[in-house]
A and B are shown apart, each in its own frame.
Chain A
Amino acid sequence: MSAPLAPARPLRISLAVRDSSTMLRRNLLHARRYPSLTLNLLLTPVMLLLLFVYIFGDVMSAGIADGGADRSEYIAYLVPGILLLTIGGTTIGSAVSVAADMTEGIIARFRTMAIDRGSVLIGHVVGSVLQCVMSVVLVGAVAVAIGFRATDATPLEWILAVGLLGLVSLALTWIAVGMGLSSPNAEAASNNALPLMVLPLLSSAFVPVDAMPGWFQPVAEYQPFTPAIETLRGLLLGTEIGNSGWLAVGWCLGLAVLGYFWSKSQFNRDPK
């Protein structure tokens, strides 16, 4: 890797960009040709959203704001959490597709070609972040359709909210890619990546942390999803953000860096 580059060879960085975009095109082609995995994963957040609003809605809204809240207030409370759960769910799909891809012979071919080594992973990561964005937009559209409004947010708050969703997508994707690479096959990857879907359920997505049993509150409060949800809520609906913003950014950067180095070392190992 550290060998000096001969002048005839193209610059490493332009090689990396070119190969990564080739890999991205390949992954997007897969996603477009076989959309069933992505669509299945989209079903979960949409179902949870409808379930909690229309089936459990009366009880749930009674639980926030001391019983005085109506259903539209619970929709407002619920949607930020659902959006982050959407990202968690979509990245499970990324772990599965990375694991499935690694069992394909073509990955061995890529490893014996003079291409940028990281491009295989970068292609997966960028593809996955794009899918996350698309999923968030679709679930967001369902939320708006059933009455979610964030009209009080300023343009700056909107930009920050989109940035936060992007950052969370990137961080969870790198972790998911690491999970995918360390799983022997697609089934194992979907099990190993389950925390990405379970953690949002154990956060402040559905009920406030104060309403949980005392022993559980620290778990819910200090896991990565809760600060991200609280920050998104604050940006879109004007609730108190406090130190959640910095906590969320810290978690995301930490997870992204951890996932990056984890994935890289997994990928650079000799294949079995």
Chain B
Amino acid sequence: MPSSVMPTSRLGDGHPSPAAVSTVGLRKSYGDKTVLDGIDLCIPAGSVFALLGPNGAGKTTAVNILSTLISADAGDIRVGGHDLATDPQAVRAAIGVTGQFSAVDGLITGEENMLLMADLHHLSKREGRRAAAELLERFDLVEAAKKPAQTYSGGMKRRLDIAMTLVGNPRIIFLDEPTTGLDPRSRHNMWGIIRELVSDGVTVFLTTQYLDEADELADRIAVLNGGKIVAEGTAEELKRMIPGGHVRLRFSDPAAYQNAAFALREVTRDDEALALQIPSDGSQRELRSILDWLDSAGIEADELTVHTPDLDDVFFALTGADDSAGTPPNQPKEAVR
């Protein structure tokens, strides 16, 4: 597995497009613990990029560095065309950030939070009020606008957080685990919000530990593990990297299971679950031939499921093996100050 992947700056149509975010050799360590160990990224403008990784992989550290919150130890970093080391203020003017921990002022109302952002973006009073009202409406917060933000539910806080990020129309948006801790409905709402952003041409850099989320939203996905990018590509490319399609037969009777395992031979056994896995690409033709084979062998499973490779398989294949060595459990994750 290559430890880094050559950056490409092409969208699907083959036209080169200016990179919204690019890093070469990004490094960060705390003491003698290396958190990011030479990260190379190139994210074309107008695309959605997902940084995928288990807890403690360094996702938040990467976002914190790219959003100018903390400094890198080494590496060339450009965000929105500006060098992060020499002109952080220009980078800040181009980006919007929604961190993992809600960045709203809990003591004041949702509307006051929005007006605060408008003031800090130096909008005129009228413009500010208009932008605030518009975003509160768009994120379904009109009813709660006059209540202190600390009384909001998790989903509402997250929506307010993103609404605040959008004041001032940033062209590049960082979302650090935008759906962690949300219920399924809020999660789907958040996906809708993110898709809407992209349709406006905004570049979205998101981190997530949910594979379906990356699959659902991202044009390109990089898998971060132990401070290194262990794979990068589209969801399809990543899925192709590993075999994993199979038909799974589950038995409840141990004797039937033993018989079937003996008769079928070329299968992967899972003795504990009394399940057998037969390699398959999931096509109708192959499925029929498997069923014929089972019939002729007189095998009747209690349950048959068709499993196509998904990002979970990729994720476990790429991040599973050296998990204990590569990801120290005490990765700093507490709220940034």
Contacts and interface: CB of A to CB of B under 8 A. Distances in A.
B99 A105 contact: yes
Interface in A1-43: 3, 10, 18-19, 22, 25-26, 29-30, 33-34
Contacts of B120: 19, 22, 110, 113, 115
Given A3-B87, A10-B122, A272-B337, A109 B108 contact: no
Nearest to B116: A26
Interface in A35-91: none
B85 to A, nearest CB: 11
A106 B71 contact: no
Interface string B79-109: 0000000110110110101010111111110
Contact of B69 (A18, A26, A103, A111): A111
A104 B105 contact: yes
A162 interface: no
Interface stretch (B39-47, B201-209, B328-336): B328-336
A109 B97 contact: yes
B164 interface: yes
- Please report whether the interface of chain B is mostly helix, strand, loop or mixed according to DSSP: loop
Interface in B292-337: 332, 334-337
B174 to A, nearest CB: 8
Interface string A103-124: 1111111111111000000000
A129 interface: no
B109 to A, nearest CB: 9
A22 B89 contact: no
A123 to B, nearest CB: 11
Given A30-B108, A111-B68, A114-B92, A272 B336 contact: yes
B116 A22 contact: yes
Kindly name the residue among A18, A103, A108 whose own CB sees the greatest number of chain B CB atoms within 10 A. Answer: A108
B67 interface: yes
A102 interface: yes
Nearest to A2: B86
Nearest to A10: B122
Contacts of A3: 86-87, 89
Nearest to A14: B122
B37 interface: no
Main SS of the interface on chain A? helix
A33 B332 contact: no
A270 interface: yes
Contacts, number: 79
A271 interface: yes
A18 B108 contact: no
B337 A107 contact: yes
A108 to B, nearest CB: 4
Contact of B164 (A102, A109, A272): A109
B114 to A, nearest CB: 12
Given A112-B69, A114-B92, A29 B97 contact: no
A218 to B, nearest CB: 39
B108 A105 contact: no
B69 A114 contact: no
B108 to A, nearest CB: 6
Contacts of A110: 120
A33 B101 CA distance: 23
A19 B121 CA distance: 9
Contact of B67 (A33, A103, A112, A272): A112
Contacts of B281: none
Contacts of A10: 122
Contact of A114 (B86, B93, B112, B337): B93
A147 to B, nearest CB: 39
A109 B137 CA distance: 22
Contacts of B105: 26, 104, 106
B337 A106 contact: no
B193 interface: no
B142 interface: no
A170 to B, nearest CB: 25
A107 to B, nearest CB: 7
A102 B89 CA distance: 21
B215 interface: no
A225 to B, nearest CB: 31
Contact of A105 (B70, B95, B102): B102
Contacts of A111: 68-69
Contacts of B164: 109
25 contacts: A3-B86, A19-B120, A22-B119, A26-B108, A26-B116, A34-B107, A102-B337, A104-B106, A105-B103, A106-B104, A108-B69, A108-B101, A108-B335, A109-B97, A110-B120, A111-B69, A112-B67, A112-B68, A112-B69, A112-B92, A113-B121, A114-B92, A114-B93, A270-B70, A271-B69
| Closest 9 pairs between A and B when the two form their complex, measured CB to CB | A105-B103, A109-B103, A114-B93, A114-B92, A271-B337, A270-B70, A22-B119, A108-B336, A112-B97
Given A26-B108, A110-B120, A111-B69, 10 more contacts: A3-B89, A22-B116, A22-B120, A30-B107, A30-B108, A102-B337, A103-B335, A105-B336, A108-B69, A112-B69
